[in-house]
Structure 1
């Protein structure tokens, strides 16, 4: 795989076809688990790991799988990988595992994972599929992280709340209190699900605005320059 191919896959995964703000897939975890950075990024990274390995595994066996059995076999592979991730998180980050709850096993039925298996991994090489799966997951993780940061900051005035669930009780001191804790600040609209819908809407609108701006710049750059020395209506003779 050339660097140009890898760059195209990464750009497509993180920006052009971002699963959170372009394809609008995986809405349940995006809306429910984006109440802070830690929850969102943790679930996003777990999804990225599953997509990385499932993409490579499905690409490796794609030529041996009959078309009629593709979906059940792909789901079986994804479910086995999700079970491994579920057990690992339960063993090593149990407190975070309890917070994420049902959304870890639900990675199995996440539209993003099966969609990339069907649309990409079943038609491409192992290396391409692994890269596509991982960065599709990273694109979702970025959306979850940005949305989680915004909701946490507006809702509780903090950043990195819950980081002790990953790194232990000593990490409680890493929480950033943008608004002093003594003020007992809380903005429920940002914390509750309606805040997730509003925040996601702003992210989608922001990406669309950036895309329009980039298109306008590209069209301006491609526009041929007017001849120098001639004004409107002046003859070339």
Structure 2
């Protein structure tokens, strides 16, 4: 039986595209100068993840193993083209702002990876759910990084949402620090690296504490901790280290 809770936890936290797998860093650092851009890119990627997961799952018995990768890429490319045209038609300002990074969703390793590792082996409902959770996790990472960079760089959050996403999103526009002169470094890509590093360290700390807490309750192996990218690795045995010395 499919464990939908496990799939959700993987997509949102444990195996998060950004904080767990360190994938899609190019659009992550390029478009997250504002939270609005991050939200737009995240939603576009989520749509592709869901649609590609469903399509690959439905065709998994038709596509032969020898041509599966080219077939998956073709499916993803068609879906990205549809999303690109849809954004250009219905959210033109956002499409202009994101520019080339919308077509480059095709090269997002996370999408092809989920198609190969999960959707091609699962029924459509599970594949669609996995795409949704992975997409929401990716969107959350983009919005969080964009919000922190925007607050530190300009003192605002979701600036221009009414223009890029439509008038109905105007309520998101907020000035967090009135009269703030700005910190340009945070809006530039180097600032993205700094904020991303801090968030990765925070996730590693939370994972370590969670693992240690579970170990204290006897429900986990205390000799295993999460690394910065969310992969479990054993801690060295201090007794063995002492003997080797």
| TM-score, normalised by the number of residues in structure 2 | 0.85
Find the counterpart in structure 1 of residue 120 from structure 2: 122
After TM superposition, where is structure 1 displaced by more than 3 Å over at least 4 residues in a row? 170-174
Q: What is the total number of aligned residue pairs between the two structures?
A: 218
Residue 108 (structure 1) aligned with residue 106 (structure 2): yes
Mapped partners of 1:56, 1:65: distance in 2: 14
The alignment partner of 1:140 has SS state of: helix
Find the counterpart in structure 2 of residue 145 from structure 1: 143
Q: What's the C-alpha RMSD, in Å, of the aligned pairs?
A: 1.5
Find the counterpart in structure 2 of residue 136 from structure 1: 134
Find the counterpart in structure 2 of residue 38 from structure 1: 36
1:18-56 CA-partner distances (Å, limit 9, x unpaired): 010110000101111111111001101110111001101
Find the counterpart in structure 1 of residue 192 from structure 2: 196
Return 5+ residue gaps in structure 2 as ranges: 220-245
Find the counterpart in structure 1 of residue 166 from structure 2: 167
Q: CA deviation at 1:98?
A: 0.1
Q: CA deviation at 1:172?
A: 5.5
Find the counterpart in structure 1 of residue 229 from structure 2: none
Mapped partners of 1:222, 1:171: distance in 2: 47
Q: 2:63 aligns with which of 62, 65, 69?
A: 65
Find the counterpart in structure 1 of residue 181 from structure 2: 185
Q: 2:156 aligns with which of 128, 138, 158?
A: 158
Mapped partners of 2:169, 2:137: distance in 1: 26
The alignment partner of 2:60 has SS state of: helix
1:179 and 1:185 in contact (8 A); partners too = no
Check 1:90–1:6 CA distance in 2 against 1; reply closer, same or farther (3 A cut). same
| TM-score, normalised by the number of residues in structure 1 | 0.88
Check 1:213–1:184 CA distance in 2 against 1; reply closer, same or farther (3 A cut). closer
Q: 1:47 aligns with which of 45, 48, 53?
A: 45
Mapped partners of 2:180, 2:42: distance in 1: 29
2:155 and 2:180 in contact (8 A); partners too = no
Find the counterpart in structure 1 of residue 201 from structure 2: 205
Q: CA deviation at 1:174?
A: 4.9
Find the counterpart in structure 2 of residue 221 from structure 1: 217
Mapped partners of 1:88, 1:175: distance in 2: 24
Mapped partners of 2:212, 2:74: distance in 1: 45
In our comparison, the structure showing a higher alpha carbon Rg is 1
